[in-house]
Chain A
Amino acid sequence: MNIEWYIVLSSLLFATGAVGILVRRSPMVILLCLELMLNAGNLALVAFSRMVGNQQGQVFALVVMVVAACEVVVGLGLIVAIFRRKLPLDVDRLRGLRG
């Protein structure tokens, strides 16, 4: 398959993740859609790395995975903290940053 197919698929997945972030209201699903967008970026990185025949792009993809894992851990920690304070898990109603 030509590389452009992978790139188009990657931008389609990115747009799908963007729809999810704009539409959904549960912070957990918004985190999941963030994962979608990060993975779309990873697919583009690996596709370009194959295009130029250089493995360094794959190292970038690994670093993106690490960052995604960190983001998940902190985000889920926040969700658990919100849940323990008996606040609503709805981003439209969580407006103030003040605890």
Chain B
Amino acid sequence: MEAVLFFLAAIGALGGAMGVVAMRNPFYSVLALIVHLFSLAVLFLLLTSAFIAAAQVVVYAGAVMVLYVFVVAYVGGGGEPVGETLPNQRFLAILVASILFIELSAAILSSALLALGTHGPDVPAGFGDPAAIGRLLLEKFLVPFEASSLLLLIAAVGAIVLAGRKRQETA
């Protein structure tokens, strides 16, 4: 059962990723990314991290993707021009990425991490649920938590400054 779910979610994640890369219309790329994110949430659930899976669906597939859809609708999803700037750019890119994949896999799988070939240790029932993650965030990782909230604030202000400048100038 777990293996079936894993392969279904893996196919979904991989198909979504390929769709993002291959679709010519940015709107379809965004929709493919939503498929990818939902499949990743299933994978996170299989790895017993319920809170991350929920945050993935709510934050990414919900909020961030709505932002993307708005901007694509605003800018207009015109297809990008066909043709390559560099000769053989597509072939070179796929070659580089294959080398990257082989290298990453070889580096990790040939490492001395013996636990890679296992399911991981048996964990208690509350592993990765919101209570456990919340306790970690507010006790052990309080400073990074506050720093990330500050980062979000700065990003929000920055986006307003970047996107709203011209309207102020003309007004």
Q: Indicate whether B116 reaches chain A with its CB closer than 8 angstroms.
A: yes
Which residues 82-134 of B sit at the A interface, judged by CB distance below 8 A? 85, 89-90, 92-94, 96-98, 100-101, 104-105, 108-109, 113, 115-123, 127-128, 132-133
**Total contacts A-B at CB 8 Å:** 236
- Is the contact region of chain B dominated by helix, strand, or loop, or is it mixed? helix
Point out the residues of chain B lying under 8 angstroms from A35, CB to CB. 33, 60, 64
| Cβ-defined contact, B81 with A18, below 8 A | no
* Cβ contact within 8 Å between A62 and B137: yes
Is A16 touching B14 in the complex (CB atoms < 8 A)? yes
Per the CB 8 Å criterion, the residue count for chain B at the interface is 87
Query: Contact: A74 with B158, CB < 8 Å?
Result: yes
The answer on a CB contact under 8 Å between B49 and A46 is yes
Instruction: Identify B104's interface contact among A11, A66, A72, A79, CB under 8 A.
Output: A11
Q: How far is the CB of A31 from chain B (nearest CB, A)?
A: 8
Interface positions of B (Cβ within 8 A of A): 2-3, 6, 10, 13-14, 17-18, 20-21, 26, 29-30, 33, 36-37, 40, 43-44, 46-49, 51-52, 55-56, 59-60, 63-64, 67-68, 71-72, 74-75, 80-81, 85, 89-90, 92-94, 96-98, 100-101, 104-105, 108-109, 113, 115-123, 127-128, 132-133, 136-137, 140-141, 144, 148, 151-152, 154-156, 158-163, 165-166
